[in-house]
Amino acid sequence: MEAKKIRNIFTAGPVEAAFIADSIAKHSTKTSIGGHSIFLGQVRADLMDGKQVEAIEYTSHVDMALEVMATIREDIFTRYALTCMHVHHSLGVVKAGEICLFVFTSSKHRKVAIDACSECVERIKAELPVWGKEIFEGEGYQWKINQ
Partner 1 sequence: MIEVMFFGQLTDATGVSSVMVEEVGNTDMLIQMMKQRYPALESSTYMIAINNAMVTENSIVTPGSKVAFMPPFSGG
Residues at the contact surface with partner 1, assessed by CB under 8 A: 41, 58-61, 63-64, 67-68, 89, 100-101, 110, 121, 124-133, 143-146
With respect to a second copy, which residue has the nearer C-beta, 66 or 107? 107
Side chain identity at residue 9, one-letter code: I
- Among partner 1, a second copy, none, what does residue 126 contact (CB within 5–8 Å per kind)? partner 1
Rounded to a whole number of angstroms, the minimum distance from the CB of residue 52 to partner 1 is 18
Residues 70-129 that bind a second copy (CB under 8 A): 96-99, 106, 108-110, 113-114, 117-118, 121
Rounded to a whole number of angstroms, the minimum distance from the CB of residue 73 to partner 1 is 15
What 3-state class would DSSP assign to 29?
helix
DSSP 134: E
Q: Which of 97, 72, 57 is nearest to 9 (CA)?
A: 72
Q: Does 36 bind a second copy (CB under 8 A)?
A: yes
- Among partner 1, a second copy, none, what does residue 63 contact (CB within 5–8 Å per kind)? partner 1
Distance in angstroms (rounded) separating the CA atoms of residues 76 and 117: 9
What 3-state class would DSSP assign to 80?
coil
Among 4, 7, 44, 79, binds a second copy (CB under 8 A): 44
Q: Is the dihedral of CA 72, 144, 135, 53 positive or negative?
A: positive
What 3-state class would DSSP assign to 122?
helix
Query: What Rg value do the Cα atoms of the chain yield, rounded?
Result: 16
Rounded to the nearest 5 percent, the helix, strand and coil shares of the chain are: 35, 40, 30
Instruction: Please report, as ranges, the residues that interact with a second copy according to CB under 8 A.
Output: 17-18, 20-22, 24-25, 27-45, 96-99, 106, 108-110, 113-114, 117-118, 121, 147
